[in-house]
Amino acid sequence: MRTVLPLSHWYYHENYSENHISDFEDMNGFSSIIIPHANKVTPFSNFDEKMYQFVSCYKRKLEIPEVMDGKRIFIDFEGVMTYTEVYLDGKIVGSHKGGYTPFTVEITSAATTGEHELVLKVDSTERSDIPPFGFVIDYLCYGGVYREVYLRAVEDTFIENTKLEHDEELDALDIKVFINSIVRKKMKLQVSLSKDNEVIDSMKLEIEVNEGKNLKTVALKNLSGIELWDLDHPVLYDVRVELVEGKDISDSAEIRYGFRTVQFRADGFYLNNRNIKLLGLNRHQSFPYVGYAMPRRAQEKDADILKFDLGLNVVRTSHYPQSKHFLNRCDEIGLLVFEEIPGWQHIGDEAWQDVAVENVREMIERDWNHPSIMIWGVRINESPDLHDFYKRTNDMARRLDTTRQTGGVRFIEDSELIEDVYTFNDFQAGFKERRHRDQRAVTGLEKDVPFMITEFAGHMHPTKRYDPEQWRVEHANRHAYAHDEIGRDRRIAGAIGWCAFDYNTHYQFGSGDRICYHGVMDMFRLPKYASYVYSSQKDPSVEVVLEPLTNWTQGDRQEGGVMPLDIYTNCDSVKMFIGEKEIGEYKPAFKKFPGLKRPPIIIDEMISTWGDFWNDALFIGYIKGEEVIRRKFLKDPVPSRLIIQVDDRELKAKGYDDSYDVTRVIVTLTDRIENISIYGFERISFNVEGPGTVIGPAETVMTGGAIAFWVKTTGEPGVITVSAETPYLISDQVCIEVI
Ligand code: GAL
């Protein structure tokens, strides 16, 4: 059987030197670290992005236990930025170019039972021979061993990968098993399909394997009653594949699978042959302070935020393959994914292009069993046409996976359509007057083709969570206008806005403080008004949303007052009161936004006289005539509460892989009825006691009335207590149980 052990504990040195290999025992300058690891903890903003671009060293003793004796032994790396050399007992055993895709190093011949010296040279500079580097890019590729590492031992014949494919009628499942062997032998291949631990079908086959790579396909036929994977019911099945020798199972693999069909056609996107308008956002995988180095729980939480808080049906993993945990969660919750290879505008020389083509292979072979993934992005984001190169990336994708179409994100018009879907960044979408471009004007073709907008907004209107109200409202409205206009155009599959979360960037981009404030949420995943455009599209049976885009008496608008007042809501109507006075009952602007499922309510009349304004405002939302929600704003709000919330009340001491666990803590400064004090800029300190520590600084400044931080476990069980404190207020204390 296979044995897999996480290799999460290492010693780390910020400078790589050959002495770290030759003089392995010398621990001078090394500190003990746990993966996921950022090679440098960065400030929140205003830092020199060169600070994490260096060559560092990770080392540890590698104990090969007796159970691995006589087996083939590998080290699996999920993601190391950007170039890695792996040394075992002083000898190089493997290397890899690229920070976003996994790689494996075989160490069988060197790894005898007992202790070995394992050293990694990790080059996190922006090497121009590796995508996305060579020119400039609008995001940071933080350094370090930021995803999991495993030691794996298998028999002489083992399962290297599997690929599942079902037929249209849902009554057959092909299970392709990629078997790697160093011997010729006869054995049995056994597969089963089950759901909720009940076996639905299974099959056993005699097989003969040869030395090298073998592909065996088992077909489960005559399946019945298969349930589809869909957005609201993401039904997952379990497939188990086993290699059997005599009576023993010599290797096995478990795969989760969803039965569904995805197809882009000239008239839109079809999931299970049902037309669905895609409504989504782009996600960068970065977090404050530790960049990419966030473990499973934080990756999963991002997917949950996109699906449940924002109500999206699609996310684009801009601009690279993201964590397996993020993708697994998308499978579980029914969130479609556009996954793409690393790159940004620049195409390098032939050797560089070879790495990019290899990235296509690595991405698809890692992720082809995810039902959530509905298209492969096989172009360097926003790069120029380059026929031979893109022929290669497309051919590679099609050779590996016939069940998904290819796309390739571009911003140029008349671009050569080698892909199946013309995926286009249209930064005109979302303007009131200048509407999105017509698809034929963009493609230069005389017929309609499958077409999707993969970015809009972003740098056209960067917005901070605490910007003037009018600016934040405009940000929201641009997202609404874009989805509205695209919603009306049946020839567009949908739109993925730029972007979900603010992110750190290079000096050439963003607001000059190394942040692109392009998110509908900030870097802590705290909402801006634009996020309500998305959340208000949810069905009210899931959650009733009522978000008047105003802080009422706080803040400034050019002409004073709060008009026009946009209310993003999924209610049928909203009544507004100022003080005791009913101002009116208002309905969604269906005429103005026919392309939105749930248009905002816009109150654009003079609703108050001078004196009225110093009164409370009350909004009551109605569905089918029944009151369902209220939002109130005070005439004279004063920050009077410091509210603390944690995402999780229970953590795992050692995370999921002998590592650590994290959860987010949000602190909000509010008035007495819990409305955010948008002009709250206070010094704030986080008090964390017990087996947990704060990621990033424990004392900082709250911006725009809120801040968040992540707590990480120290490895011990117990209770973490968390509270926060400003010079004037102290929050409650919350407890997190660590098991
Ligand atoms: C696009 C690019 C994104 C981001 C965005 C900002 O051109 O693809 O990565 O930079 O602009 O609006």
Maximum distance among all alpha carbons in the chain? 90
What is the mean pLDDT of the segment spanning 567-585? 95
Distance 493 CA to ligand 1 centre (A): 20
pTM score above 0.95: yes
pLDDT for 439 equals 92
Q: Would you state the structure tokens that stand for residue 528, as one six-digit string? A: 């801006």
Q: Which of 115-129, 266-280, 420-434, 511-525 has the lowest mean pLDDT?
A: 420-434
What is the mean pLDDT of the segment spanning 10-21? 97
Asked whether 420 lines ligand 1 (CB < 6 A), one says: no
Asked whether 37 lines ligand 1 (CB < 6 A), one says: no
Confirm whether 168 is a catalytic residue: no
pLDDT for 605 equals 80
State which ligand 1 atom lies nearest to the alpha carbon of 319. Answer: 9
Nearest to 292 by CA among 695, 737, 708: 695
Question: Taking 90 as the threshold, does the pLDDT of residue 556 lie above it?
Answer: no
pLDDT for 594 equals 95
What is the mean pLDDT of the segment spanning 134-149? 98
**How long a stretch of residues is the chain?**
739
Asked whether 138 lines ligand 1 (CB < 6 A), one says: yes
Distance 284 CA to ligand 1 centre (A): 11
Q: How far apart are CA 218 and CA 193, in angstroms?
A: 12
Determine which one of 155, 455, 469, 474 is catalytic.
Answer: 455
Instruction: Quote the percentage of the chain above a pLDDT of 70.
Output: 99
Question: Taking 70 as the threshold, does the pLDDT of residue 338 lie above it?
Answer: yes
Question: Taking 60 as the threshold, does the pLDDT of residue 292 lie above it?
Answer: yes
Distance 138 CA to ligand 1 centre (A): 7
Q: How far apart are CA 599 and CA 42, in angstroms?
A: 40
What is the mean pLDDT of the segment spanning 55-67? 96
Residue whose CA is closest, atom 4 of ligand 1?
A: 138
Edge-to-edge strand order for the sheet containing 706-713?
Answer: 641-646, 662-670, 706-713, 692-695
Asked whether 506 lines ligand 1 (CB < 6 A), one says: no
pLDDT for 610 equals 57
Classify 393 as helix, strand or coil: helix
pLDDT for 562 equals 85
8 A C-beta contact, residue 680 and residue 705 = yes
What is the mean pLDDT of the segment spanning 364-391? 98
| Confidence grade of residue 612 (pLDDT, cut at 50, 70, 90) | low
| Confidence grade of residue 614 (pLDDT, cut at 50, 70, 90) | confident
Edge-to-edge strand order for the sheet containing 31-34?
Answer: 31-34, 9-13, 55-64, 114-123, 83-88, 91-97
Q: What is the pLDDT of residues 405-455, one digit of tens each?
A: 999 999 999 999 999 999 999 999 988 766 888 999 999 999 999 999 999
What is the mean pLDDT of the segment spanning 698-707? 97
Asked whether 283 lines ligand 1 (CB < 6 A), one says: no
Asked whether 381 lines ligand 1 (CB < 6 A), one says: yes
What is the mean pLDDT of the segment spanning 189-196? 97
Q: Which of 372-376, 612-616, 702-706 has the lowest mean pLDDT?
A: 612-616
Confirm whether 160 is a catalytic residue: no
**Residue 160 Cα distances to 180, 188, 252, angstroms:** 6, 16, 10
Q: Would you state the structure tokens that stand for residue 210, as one six-digit string? A: 């040869």
Question: Taking 80 as the threshold, does the pLDDT of residue 581 lie above it?
Answer: yes
Q: Would you state the structure tokens that stand for residue 284, as one six-digit string? A: 């960068």
pLDDT for 393 equals 98
Residue whose CA is closest, atom 7 of ligand 1?
A: 382
Asked whether 425 lines ligand 1 (CB < 6 A), one says: yes
| Confidence grade of residue 234 (pLDDT, cut at 50, 70, 90) | very high
Q: How far apart are CA 565 and CA 556, in angstroms?
A: 13
Asked whether 459 lines ligand 1 (CB < 6 A), one says: yes
State which ligand 1 atom lies nearest to the alpha carbon of 409. Answer: 8
State which ligand 1 atom lies nearest to the alpha carbon of 516. Answer: 6
Asked whether 572 lines ligand 1 (CB < 6 A), one says: no
| Confidence grade of residue 613 (pLDDT, cut at 50, 70, 90) | low
| Confidence grade of residue 607 (pLDDT, cut at 50, 70, 90) | low
Q: What is the pLDDT of residues 258-276, one digit of tens each?
A: 999 999 999 999 999 999 9
How does DSSP classify residue 107?
-
Question: Taking 80 as the threshold, does the pLDDT of residue 394 lie above it?
Answer: yes
State which ligand 1 atom lies nearest to the alpha carbon of 411. Answer: 7
Q: How many CA atoms lie within 13 A of 191 on its CB side?
A: 23
555 or 226: which carries more pLDDT confidence?
226
- DSSP string for residues in 565-579: EEEEE-SSEEEEEET
Q: Which of 425, 453, 455 to mutate to test the pocket of ligand 1 (most atoms within 8 A of CB)?
A: 455
State CA 414 to chain mean position distance: 30
Q: Which of 317-326, 331-340, 562-571, 611-620 has the lowest mean pLDDT?
A: 611-620
Distance 7 CA to ligand 1 centre (A): 36
Determine which one of 362, 382, 485, 547 is catalytic.
Answer: 382
What is the mean pLDDT of the segment spanning 631-645? 96
User: Which residues pair with residue 162 across a beta bridge?
Assistant: 177
| Confidence grade of residue 312 (pLDDT, cut at 50, 70, 90) | very high
pLDDT for 611 equals 61
pLDDT for 563 equals 85
Asked whether 498 lines ligand 1 (CB < 6 A), one says: yes
Mean pLDDT for the chain?
96
Q: What are the phi and psi torsion angles at 42 (to 5°)? A: -100, 160
Q: Where are the beta strands (DSSP E) in 78-113?
A: 80-81, 83-88, 91-97, 103-106
Classify 478 as helix, strand or coil: helix
Residue whose CA is closest, atom 10 of ligand 1?
A: 138
Distance 456 CA to ligand 1 centre (A): 9
Nearest to 608 by CA among 586, 570, 581: 581
What is the mean pLDDT of the segment spanning 396-412? 97
State which ligand 1 atom lies nearest to the alpha carbon of 498. Answer: 12
| Confidence grade of residue 560 (pLDDT, cut at 50, 70, 90) | confident
Q: Would you state the structure tokens that stand for residue 412, as one six-digit string? A: 């140029």
Nearest to 713 by CA among 687, 688, 684, 734: 688
Question: Taking 60 as the threshold, does the pLDDT of residue 609 lie above it?
Answer: no
State which ligand 1 atom lies nearest to the alpha carbon of 381. Answer: 8
